[in-house]
Amino acid sequence: MGHGNVQMFKEKANLSRQPVITRPVVLIGLMGAGKSTVGRRLAKALSVTFIDSDDEIKKAAGCSIEDIFELYGEAEFRAGEKRVMDRLMDEGPMVLATGGGAFMDPGLRQRLLHASTTVWLKADLDALVERTSRRGGRPLLSTGDPRKTLQKLITERYPVYQQATIAIDTNGATHDRAVDMIVTALMNRSDI
């Protein structure tokens, strides 16, 4: 592309508020943060493919996340998650929603921080309790008190999630507003 064309392309992208990404945008955050819903809409806004890593793991295993936990255990699930994410990091621009635990693995975290733009969808306890109550299928919340479990996960994970490139406060924000905030944050970066 000649210089003039590049300029025109950039201006067009800016006018339509569509940042041009060259590598994956990876959404991280706790269960119920809205990674899948926001991710799907963000992918539309960026005109790229949306992939949900939990869906990829389900496809590879041929069963549900609950079944994987039950039949093979959490460690095996984490190994599968790592393989899937590692493969997707080489597949160019996309929006990828991760399971809430993926970013906690130190090796995978380093890979994501280097190969993608990581976006943390931050939400407080009340919002997560409310949003996770609407859909089951989450083995970590199927036993015990979900509120207590989510509080424990906030304490363990939020200090680590903080390493994400971009953090978006989703409390009280609609999914579309969250998408707008991410698009704006991406527009303000030169390394996407």
Q: Could you list the residues that contact ligand S3P (CB under 6 A)?
A: 31, 35, 54, 65, 99-101, 138-140
Q: How far apart are CA 6 and CA 38, in angstroms?
A: 30
Closest CB to ligand S3P among 100 and 146?
A: 100
Residue whose C-beta lies closest to ligand S3P: 99
Q: How far is the CB of 100 from ligand S3P (least distance, A)?
A: 3
Give the β-pairing of 117-122 and 50-52. unpaired
Q: Note whether 177 and 38 are within 8 A (CB).
A: no
Unique residue bearing structure tokens 């390493």: 163
Q: How far apart are CA 120 and CA 63, in angstroms?
A: 28
Q: How far is the CB of 134 from ligand S3P (least distance, A)?
A: 12
Q: How far is the CB of 65 from ligand S3P (least distance, A)?
A: 5
Closest CB to ligand S3P among 65 and 167?
A: 65
Q: How far is the CB of 82 from ligand S3P (least distance, A)?
A: 12
Closest CB to ligand S3P among 19 and 116?
A: 116
Q: Which amino acid is at 26?
A: V
Closest CB to ligand S3P among 18 and 151?
A: 151
Side-chain-facing half-sphere of 33: CA atoms under 13 Å: 28
Name residues whose C-beta falls within 8 Å of residue 113's C-beta, 6 or more positions apart in sequence.
163, 165
